Amino acid sequence: METPKRFEGKVAIVTASTQGIGLAIAERLGLEGASVVISSRKQQNVDAAAEQLRAKGIQVLGVVCHVSSAQQRKNLIDKTVQKYGKIDVVVSNAAANPSVDAILQTKDSVLDKLWEINVKATILLLKDAVPHLQKGSSVVIISSIAGFNPPPSLAMYGVTKTALLGLTKALAAEMAPNTRVNCVAPGFVPTNFASFITSNDAVKKELEEKTLLGRLGTTEDMGAAAAFLASDDAAYITERPL
C-alpha cells in the first residue's frame, strides 16, 4: 500500500524519538512528508536516529532535549522555529518508569520524577510551543493502557498516564478551536521500555493471548495511530484517547 502524504509542508516535533514508539511516529510523519524534529537525552542517539531517517528520504532536524530541562525544552522549540518558522504537530512521548514499588512505598524523589517527566514536561513543552502552533495544528500525547487501570507493578506510572487522559481532555478544551489534542494509549509494544515484560517468552505469550487480535502492538501500529490523529483525516476529532 502506498503511504499517503498527509503532512506535506507540515512541521512536527516528537519528543523521546530516537528509538521505539517515538522514532516510529517520527518516521511515519516524515514518510508522509513532514519535516520532523526528533529529540532525546543523548546526542549520539539523536545523531544516529537522524541519520537513519535521512537515509529514508525524510527531512529531519535532531536536537538534544531531556524533557525535564526547561532550557533544553526551550532550545527544542527555538531551533524548530529558527529552521522551519512554525509548528504544526507536537507529539509528547517521553516517559519514565523508575520503580515497581507499590504507590505507598514509592520514594518522594521517585514520585517527583514521575510527575516531572510523565506529566509536567508535556504541559511546559506545550507552553513554549503555543505561540508557534498553527491554525489546524494538532497535539498527540502518549498515554498508556496502564492509564485506564493502573496495574500493581506499574501503579504510579499508570497513575501518571491516567493524568495524561485528563490532561488531553482539559487541554483539548483550552486549545480549541485552533489546536486539536488527542492521545494514544498503547497496549504492550516490544521496545526497550517494555523489555522487562516482552522479552520473557512465557509472559509475552500470555499477553498476546489476552489481546483480541492475538498479537502485541508494533511501533508501526503506534506510528499509524499517532499520524492519523495528527492528520487532517482526524480534523473533527479532539480530546479522544485512541
Q: Which of 143, 122, 141, 133 is nearest to 175 (CA)?
A: 133
**Which of 31, 60, 76, 95 lies at the binding interface for ligand NAP (CB under 6 A)?**
95
Closer residue to ligand NAP, CB minimum distance, 140 or 172 = 140
Q: Provide the minimum distance between the beta carbon of 36 and ligand NAP in the complex, in angstroms, as a whole number.
A: 14
**Which of 10, 20, 50, 227 lies at the binding interface for ligand NAP (CB under 6 A)?**
20
Among residues 7, 84, 157, 188, which one is catalytic? 157
Q: Is the peptide bond before 177 cis (omega within 30 degrees of 0)?
A: yes
236 is catalytic: no
* Cα 160 to Cα 45: distance, rounded to the nearest angstrom: 26
Instruction: Kindly report the length of the chain.
Output: 242
* Contact string (CB under 6 A) for ligand NAP, positions 120-139, x = contact: --------------------
**Buried-state track 130-142, b at ≥16 Cβ within 10 A, e below 16:** bebbeeebbbbbb
Q: Provide the minimum distance between the beta carbon of 7 and ligand NAP in the complex, in angstroms, as a whole number.
A: 20
| Selected range binding ligand NAP among 4-12, 62-70, 200-208, 226-234, rule: CB under 6 A | 62-70
Per CB under 6 A, 99 contacts ligand NAP: no
Per CB under 6 A, 189 contacts ligand NAP: yes
**Which of 114, 156, 194, 227 lies at the binding interface for ligand NAP (CB under 6 A)?**
194
Per CB under 6 A, 66 contacts ligand NAP: yes
Closer residue to ligand NAP, CB minimum distance, 154 or 172 = 154
**Which of 35, 45, 99, 231 lies at the binding interface for ligand NAP (CB under 6 A)?**
45
| Selected range binding ligand NAP among 2-10, 11-19, 132-140, 202-210, rule: CB under 6 A | 11-19
Residues marked as catalytic: 157
Binding site for ligand NAP (CB under 6 A): 15-16, 18-22, 40-42, 45, 65-68, 93-95, 117, 142, 144, 186, 188-189, 191-194
